[in-house]
């Protein structure tokens, strides 16, 4: 089943964090390749670099995590889906209009949901309650079933 992973959840596959085991389970139940959009690319790499800035990762751990993402892209485990980036932004604007006031979701959260819809993902994986609310309200199946 094609699953769109929010970046916050996806990076748990590359650095050990609370929830990394859950991500491994979700990845095993997903079809390959796992979508890795332009949003993921910038957000994941920036999040990892910020972990280094905050001394949560060593330079070697940062390099290893970035290399692992590149290796997964090269091997086809992660793949840039074919999508219309303008349609993602248009979809995000529509989702914002419908759900931002009700859910409190932020722009990037909404952009990820719009990207998932644009690539026709069947499931949306996130631990962010506001983002999950938007995805669910937009008709997507949300995993995990509950947030730990």
Nearest CA among 132, 93, 143 for reference residue 114: 93
- Which residues, listed in sequence order, are joined to residue 99 by a DSSP beta bridge? none
Q: What is the mean pLDDT of residues 47-60?
A: 98
Please tell us whether the domain made up of 3-143 is placed in CATH 1.10.3720.10.
no
Beta strand 141-143 with 123-125 is parallel
pLDDT number for residue 89: 98
pLDDT tens column, 19-42: 899 999 999 989 999 999 999 999
Q: What was the pLDDT predicted at 134? A: 98
Asked if residue 78 has pLDDT above 90, the reply is yes
The reported pLDDT for the residue numbered 49 is 98
Query: Hey, where are the domains in the chain?
Result: 3-143
């Amino acid at each position: 089943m094609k699953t769109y992973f929010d970046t916050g959840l996806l990076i748990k596959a590359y650095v050990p964090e609370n929830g990394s085991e859950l991500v491994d389970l979700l990845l095993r139940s997903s079809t390959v390749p796992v979508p890795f959009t332009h949003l993921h690319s910038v957000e994941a790499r920036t999040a990892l670099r910020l972990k280094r800035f905050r001394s949560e990762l060593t330079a070697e751990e940062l390099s290893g995590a970035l290399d692992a993402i590149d290796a997964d892209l090269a091997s086809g485990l992660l793949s840039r889906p074919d999508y219309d980036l303008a349609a993602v932004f248009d979809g995000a604007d529509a989702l914002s209009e419908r759900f931002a006031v009700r859910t409190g979701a932020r722009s990037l959260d909404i952009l990820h949901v719009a990207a998932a819809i644009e690539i026709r993902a069947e499931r949306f994986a996130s631990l962010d309650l506001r983002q999950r609310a938007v995805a669910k309200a937009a008709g997507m199946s949300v995993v995990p079933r509950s947030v730990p």
